[in-house]
Structure 1
Amino acid sequence: MTALTTEEGDILQDLAALGYAVDSLSSLRMSGVNYRDAVPVLLEHLRKVQDTKVKGEVVRALSVPWARPAATPVLIDEFRHAEDATGLGLRWTVGNALEVVWDDAFYDELVELASDTSFGRAREMIVLGLTRSKNAAADAVLVELMDDSDVGGHAVKALAKIAAKRSVSADARPGLERKLADGRAWVRAGARRALAVCA
Structure 2
Amino acid sequence: MSSNWNEPWTNSEGMSHREIVERIANDPGIRERVEATLAEDPEVQEGRRLYAEAAGPLLAELQQLVPDLEAINHKLEGVGDLYRVQVRHVDEDGNETSRRPLDYRAAVPVLLEWLPKVRYAPLAEDIVSALSAPFAKKQARPLLLRLFRESLPVENPQRPDNTAYFREQLRWRIGETLGKFSDPTVADDMIELARDPSFGHARSQIVNPGLAKTKDPRVPEILLDLLEDPTVAPAAAQGLGRLRHTPAQPHLERALHSTDENLRYQAKKALKRLT
Classify the TM-score, shorter chain.
Answer: 0.7 to 0.9
Q: CA deviation at 1:7?
A: 3.6
Identity of aligned residues (%): 34
Name whichever of 30-39 and 52-61 sits farther off.
30-39
Gaps of 5+ in 2: 1-44, 70-74, 86-100, 154-162
TM-score using structure 1 length = 0.84
1:147 aligns with 2:228: yes
Would you say how many aligned residue pairs link Structure 1 and Structure 2?
A: 194
Q: CA deviation at 1:108?
A: 0.9
Give, in whole Å, the separation in 2 of the partners of 1:144 and 1:113.
Answer: 14
Give, in whole Å, the separation in 2 of the partners of 1:12 and 1:136.
Answer: 44
Give, in whole Å, the separation in 2 of the partners of 1:159 and 1:94.
Answer: 23
Candidates 5, 26, 37, aligned match of 2:80: 26
TM-score using structure 2 length = 0.63
Candidates 77, 102, 119, aligned match of 2:146: 77
Name whichever of 28-37 and 70-79 sits farther off.
28-37
Name whichever of 120-129 and 32-41 sits farther off.
32-41
Alignment of 1:73-112 (within 5 A): 73-82=142-151, 83=153, 85-86=164-165, 88-112=168-192
Q: CA deviation at 1:68?
A: 0.9
1:177 aligns with 2:270: no
Q: CA deviation at 1:169?
A: 4.2
Give, in whole Å, the separation in 1 of the partners of 2:172 and 2:118.
Answer: 18
Candidates 214, 224, 240, aligned match of 1:133: 214
Give, in whole Å, the separation in 1 of the partners of 2:265 and 2:62.
Answer: 44
Give, in whole Å, the separation in 1 of the partners of 2:256 and 2:265.
Answer: 8
Question: 2:60 corresponds to which residue?
Answer: 13
Q: CA deviation at 1:37?
A: 2.6
Q: Which residue type is aligned with residue 195 of structure 2?
A: S
SS in 1 for 2:258: coil
1:114 aligns with 2:194: yes
SS in 1 for 2:80: helix
Name whichever of 14-23 and 84-93 sits farther off.
84-93
Q: Which residue type is aligned with residue 214 of structure 2?
A: S
SS in 2 for 1:89: helix
Give, in whole Å, the separation in 1 of the partners of 2:136 and 2:220.
Answer: 26
Give, in whole Å, the separation in 1 of the partners of 2:103 and 2:223.
Answer: 32
- Once the two structures are superposed, residues 131-168 of structure 1 have per-residue CA deviations (whole angstroms, 9 ceiling, x without a partner) of 322223222221111111211111112223x15xxx31
Question: 1:42 corresponds to which residue?
Answer: 111
Q: CA deviation at 1:185?
A: 4.0
- Once the two structures are superposed, residues 45-75 of structure 1 have per-residue CA deviations (whole angstroms, 9 ceiling, x without a partner) of 1122233332222112112222212211111
8 A Cα contact 1:124 1:151, kept in partner: yes
Give, in whole Å, the separation in 2 of the partners of 1:155 and 1:34.
Answer: 35
RMSD: 2.3
Query: Which of the pair has the greater relative contact order for Cα pairs under 8 Å at 6+ separation?
Result: 1
SS in 2 for 1:147: coil
SS in 1 for 2:164: coil
| 1:41 to 1:142, Cα distance in 2 relative to 1, 3 A | same
1:195 aligns with 2:268: no
- Once the two structures are superposed, residues 97-155 of structure 1 have per-residue CA deviations (whole angstroms, 9 ceiling, x without a partner) of 21222233222112211111011111112111223222232222211111112111111
Which entry has the higher C-alpha Rg, 1 or 2?
2
